[in-house]
Structure 1
Amino acid sequence: MAAPDARRQFEEDVIAGLSAPQKFLSAKYFYDAAGSDLFEAITRQPEYYPTRTELGILEAKGAEIAALIPERADLVEFGSGSTVKVRRLLMHLSDLGAYVPVDVSETFLRSEAQALATDFPNLTIAPVAADFTRAFTLPDGLARKAVAGFFPGSTIGNFEPPQATQLLAHFGRVLGRGATLIVGVDLVKDKAVLDAAYDDAAGVTAAFNRNLLVRMTRELGATLDVEGFCHRAFFNPEASRIEMHLVSSRAQSIRFGDHVFAFAEGETIHTENSYKYTLEGFRALATAAGWTPRAVWTDPENLFSVHALSRT
């Protein structure tokens, strides 16, 4: 069950989203404990290239990337989720001041922090349960000389470009002057590759998408038919983004409290965007947010990129 403040925010966001002409739900609500587990399962599907490709870059270039992080820096990972990616950097960061994972799913956050502490017993780990898109405070008591950020997984693509610019500027405020930020960014590529990546044959992404509705029944007491909505994902080349929707299979309603939201057959809830960038396009976005591009690494097929940015 969500904490009272989190439940209230979830309810307010659902009401706002389902009241809009194009109904929508925020993608941040994908990541409760069940959603986090489902996303980890998505990353293991053969169609889903981003995770294995980014891991390949971190494996091959981890030492080069880590070399750009200042000595004794505290490393803040925004939306940390699984620690599988940050481990590729930590193995090259023996002098790290502390690792600060920030994630909205507190249960998953604590579990991953405990597992990481077992494998890196000399590393100070200071988890923060927070929505990284909102203002939060870094833990007190860390002897920080410098601060660096880590934002892998192409999560930046889930934000509209103006919002992505604002988010990168927000990271700059959290990390402070002189910070380094390492960001994973998915690249524009063949539409068939993109469509398959977000609509795997095993149906894991479909379950992940519908988990938003499951959360509404459990946490808000909503009355709805989860199976009455199907998953749809496709690449929109004009907007350079993947769109994910929940499509109503018939005329029906979602009810909770005093609210009733009617759906026509075929009407959708827009649940996620995943923008795909060119290297030049992302560099321009980062520059507009107050960051200076320093380096970029890609895989041999140019499917994915990892950028290093600095802030003066």
Structure 2
Amino acid sequence: MYRFINLVSQDAPDSLASDISTGLSSPEKYIHHKYMYNAAGSELFERITQDPNYYPTHAETEILTRFSPEIAAQLADNTAIVELGSGSSVKTRHLLTAMVQHQGKTLFCPIDISGDFLQENVKRLSADYPDLDILGVIADYYVGLAALADEIRQPKLLLWLGSDIGHADPATAAMLLRDKMLPALRPGDKLLIGIDLKKAAEPIHRAYGCPGDNDPLRYEFNCNALRHINQKLDGNFVTDNFQRYCFYNETAGRLEIYLKSKVDQQVTLNTLDQTFVFKADELIRIHFAHKYDQNDILQLTQAAGLTLQHQWFDAKHWFSLNLLSVGAA
């Protein structure tokens, strides 16, 4: 059984226009990474995760394959699973299987901004898991999570997989956990968060296709943000006028991805009635992926007001799953 809540109309149009105007007007231009993820972008990213070099997905899958029964055993009876950025739920299926085996009937609430992609995935999951009740939420993460705060009265496990937490710097990540997620949770609820770990630059560069000028798939994925903006804001970005550039910043502990303007150019977004000037070699920041060590994880959980209950790692210790507990208010 499944149903959907569509909240995109409440938050997407205005925030898209405002976000893009602010980002492209900044002295150091940027586009929020979430605008790569319409239906086409989600499909491109799924293809990236199948690349053998893309270790975050493979390491996290390894952990969930080995430890999902152990994770399920640490949760309260009748726990509902809420997942941020569900995607195709390939990895999540390991935990869903363990939860159904552990407690029987289970409520699963995937939240994703890409409505078409989410609806197709939910229908597949419903066919494969007759003991799942699925409530698909088409929304930005925090809008969807807030909507579920009163919808779900039973204990919750909030999944934030794929090292999505790394999109924000650690201080901002702690703020998001504390101010955006905790208000939607109750004492005793849990969070299971995938966090990519600091390591040598070489496997990170392989995973993300750096330096970026010879990786057609990742180029198409990053440029999908430009195509998405063209579609939504009546723009005239020409993707051929940009090239992809990325590197691991070891000092900052983060992977940085940019689109670099190949030429002097102007881009007009008619919906905004704005024109943006790009100089040759000027960068648009598309994505940061922050990496953590153990001390960083402990500082993050402390700053967010959470308790680190348990951790699981892949065999290479390149990636971690972290079970966090919500204490009394």
- Give the C-alpha shift of residue 280 in structure 1: 2.3
Partner residue, 1:263: 278
| Partner SS, residue 80 of structure 1 | coil
Partner residue, 1:163: 172
Partner residue, 2:296: 281
Distance 1:179 1:119 in 2: 27
Distance 2:59 2:81 in 1: 22
**The one of 42, 51, 68 aligned to 2:74:** 68
Is 1:307 equivalent to 2:313 in the alignment?
no
Distance 2:175 2:88 in 1: 25
Percent of paired sites with the same residue: 35
For 1:77-96, list aligned pairs within 5 A: 77-94=83-100, 95=103
Deviations 1:180-217 (A, max 9, x none): 11110000011011112111764211111000011111
- Give the C-alpha shift of residue 104 in structure 1: 1.1
Preserved contact between residue 7 and residue 220 of structure 1 (Cα < 8 Å): no
Deviations 1:250-272 (A, max 9, x none): 10111112211101100010011
Partner residue, 2:55: 49
Preserved contact between residue 294 and residue 310 of structure 1 (Cα < 8 Å): yes
**The one of 124, 142, 146 aligned to 1:115:** 124
Distance 1:173 1:302 in 2: 32
What amino acid maps onto 2:246 in structure 1? Answer: A
Partner residue, 2:235: 222
Distance 1:57 1:129 in 2: 28
Preserved contact between residue 133 and residue 167 of structure 1 (Cα < 8 Å): no
Preserved contact between residue 149 and residue 184 of structure 2 (Cα < 8 Å): no
Distance 2:151 2:55 in 1: 39
TM-score by length of 2: 0.90
| Partner SS, residue 162 of structure 2 | coil
Distance 2:187 2:147 in 1: 16
- Give the C-alpha shift of residue 145 in structure 1: 2.8
Partner residue, 2:3: none
- Give the C-alpha shift of residue 9 in structure 1: 1.7
Partner residue, 1:99: 108
- Give the C-alpha shift of residue 300 in structure 1: 1.6
What amino acid maps onto 1:182 in structure 2? Answer: L
| Partner SS, residue 141 of structure 2 | coil
| Partner SS, residue 119 of structure 2 | helix
Partner residue, 1:252: 265
Distance 2:53 2:216 in 1: 11
- Give the C-alpha shift of residue 221 in structure 1: 0.8
- Give the C-alpha shift of residue 279 in structure 1: 2.1
Compute the RMSD of aligned alpha carbons. 1.7
Partner residue, 1:179: 189
| Partner SS, residue 56 of structure 1 | helix
Partner residue, 2:4: none
**The one of 188, 197, 200 aligned to 1:190:** 200
Distance 2:151 2:173 in 1: 30
**The one of 295, 304, 308 aligned to 2:310:** 295
Deviations 1:223-262 (A, max 9, x none): 1211101111110111100011000001011111221110
Partner residue, 1:232: 245
When the two structures are aligned, how many residues end up with a matched partner?
310
| Partner SS, residue 247 of structure 1 | strand
- Give the C-alpha shift of residue 5 in structure 1: 5.1
User: Comparing 297-306 with 163-172, which one deviates more in the overlay?
Assistant: 163-172
Distance 2:186 2:41 in 1: 31
TM-score by length of 1: 0.95
**The one of 36, 39, 44 aligned to 1:33:** 39
What amino acid maps onto 1:25 in structure 2? Answer: I
User: Comparing 16-25 with 84-93, which one deviates more in the overlay?
Assistant: 84-93
- Give the C-alpha shift of residue 129 in structure 1: 1.2
Preserved contact between residue 107 and residue 132 of structure 2 (Cα < 8 Å): yes
Q: Which runs of 5+ in 1 are unaligned?
A: none
Distance 1:224 1:291 in 2: 43
Preserved contact between residue 185 and residue 326 of structure 2 (Cα < 8 Å): no
Distance 2:133 2:94 in 1: 17
For 1:7-18, list aligned pairs within 5 A: 7-18=13-24
Q: 1:107 to 1:35 in 2, by over 3 A?
A: same
Preserved contact between residue 313 and residue 319 of structure 2 (Cα < 8 Å): yes
- Give the C-alpha shift of residue 283 in structure 1: 2.2
